[in-house]
Amino acid sequence: MKIFSRAVLTGLLVSAFWVTGIGYAVESTPDVAKEVEKHLAMSKSYEEKAMTQDVLIAEHEQMKKDSKNKYTISSKLGVSPKFHQMEKHCNAIIADATKLRNDLLDFAKWHRMRAAELQGM
């Protein structure tokens, strides 16, 4: 009977510690309004970074268009091999910047969703 009582007593004490928070550090609940604000700020930041990628994409689209005119030798000979080098350079940057822009927009969307979730929407 003594063993059973100790086990029951130990169980009750552990339960009491668990319920009341004694014996372990209880993490404080974050201020929801601050968390929402933080997520919205992150979303805005990612959207701004995505806009800089749009600028980079536009610059290289224009660069590619301009270089075709610049490196066209004649209508009979076509374009210079330098144009193909420039086109390869621009296409690589455009592809990478597009992927990065899309990833940034996905991050912004996630942070807006998380802010709405915290607001109970």
Encode 66-78: b = buried (16+ Cβ within 10 Å), e = exposed: ebeeebeeeeeee
pLDDT at position 23 is 43
pLDDT at position 41 is 96
pLDDT at position 27 is 40
- Residues in the chain, pLDDT under 50: 1, 4, 8-9, 12-14, 16-28
pLDDT at position 75 is 72
